[in-house]
């Protein structure tokens, strides 16, 4: 006779636990709400959609953060009609996924301030170079201040929210 598995364990390691999927769905919905709060910019796709992804990266893990931030960006871009084209928005979503991994990794090892600085630098400065394909260095430099501002707001919201929820013992 076999004993039943412990609560919360996977019966099949290839499946994602329902609880993780539910968390991701809630935070993807929050990304959709944040996507409607725009930071005025030349591109129109800079919004508060990344905060839930950064929060999930800190609170739940890499995979949750990756999926929430990636889908959140696609929602933001879709709301304004994919102004940079679908392939470039997919690339930007992949960049954001990499940035949330770096944010979590650095935050775990050096603290949330260092992780925040890294995420703001990566998303605000490095991601601005995605615009070089659209309008050269003028587009890069024209978009960079808005990306830095958007990154700053998103990361600060994520870190403060995580700190509050963590202190309350909820994650």
Compute the distance between CA of residue 94 and CA of residue 29 in angstroms, rounded to an integer: 19
Q: pLDDT, tens digit, for every residue of 124-155?
A: 999 999 999 888 999 999 999 999 999 999 99
* Residue 42 contacts residue 143 (beta carbons within 8 Å): yes
Asked if pLDDT for residue 2 goes beyond 60, the answer is: no
Scan for tokens 């394909």, then name that residue: 133
So where are the chain's domains?
18-167
First-residue to last-residue Cα distance in the chain = 36
Global confidence as pTM: 0.87
More confident of the two residues 30 and 2:
30
Q: How confident is the model at residue 39 (pLDDT cuts 50, 70, 90)?
A: confident
pLDDT for 40: 86
In which band, very low, low, confident or very high, does the pLDDT at 3 lie, cut at 50, 70 and 90? low
Alpha-carbon span 49 to 150, nearest angstrom: 10
- What lies within 8 Å, CB to CB, of 88 at 6+ separation is 130, 133, 134
Q: What is the dihedral of CA 157, 161, 164, 169, to 10 degrees?
A: -160
Query: 86-119 pLDDT, tens per residue?
Result: 999 999 999 999 999 999 999 999 999 999 999 9
Give residue 44's pLDDT. Answer: 78
Reply yes or no on whether the pLDDT at 171 is more than 90.
Answer: no
Q: Residue 157 — φ and ψ, nearest 5°? A: -60, -45
What dotted CATH number matches 18-167?
A: 1.10.1760.20
CA 129 remoteness from chain centre: 18
Residue-level pLDDT at 20: 86
pLDDT tens by residue, 42-72: 887 788 999 999 999 999 999 999 999 999 9
Q: What is the pLDDT of residues 5-37, one digit of tens each?
A: 555 544 455 667 888 889 899 999 999 999 999
Query: Which is nearest to 147 in space by CA: 75, 49, 53, 79?
Result: 49
Which class for 109: exposed (0-12), middle (13-18), buried (19 or more C-beta within 10 A)?
exposed
Mean pLDDT score of the chain, rounded to an integer? Answer: 89
């Amino acid at each position: 006779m076999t004993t039943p598995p412990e609560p919360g364990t996977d019966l099949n390691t290839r499946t994602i636990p329902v609880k993780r999927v539910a968390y991701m769905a809630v935070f993807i919905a929050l990304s959709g709400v944040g996507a409607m709060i725009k930071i005025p910019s030349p591109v129109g796709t800079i919004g508060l959609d990344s905060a839930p992804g950064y929060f999930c990266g800190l609170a739940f893990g890499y995979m949750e953060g990756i999926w929430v931030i990636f889908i959140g960006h696609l929602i933001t871009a879709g709301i304004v009609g994919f102004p940079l084209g679908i392939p470039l928005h997919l690339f930007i979503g992949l960049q954001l996924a990499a940035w949330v991994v770096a944010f979590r990794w650095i935050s775990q090892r050096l603290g949330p301030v260092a992780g925040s600085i890294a995420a703001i630098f990566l998303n605000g400065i490095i991601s601005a170079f995605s615009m070089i394909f659209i309008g050269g260095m003028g587009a890069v430099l024209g978009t960079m201040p808005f990306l830095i501002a958007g990154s700053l707001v998103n990361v600060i919201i994520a870190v403060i929210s995580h700190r509050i929820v963590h202190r309350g013992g909820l994650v």
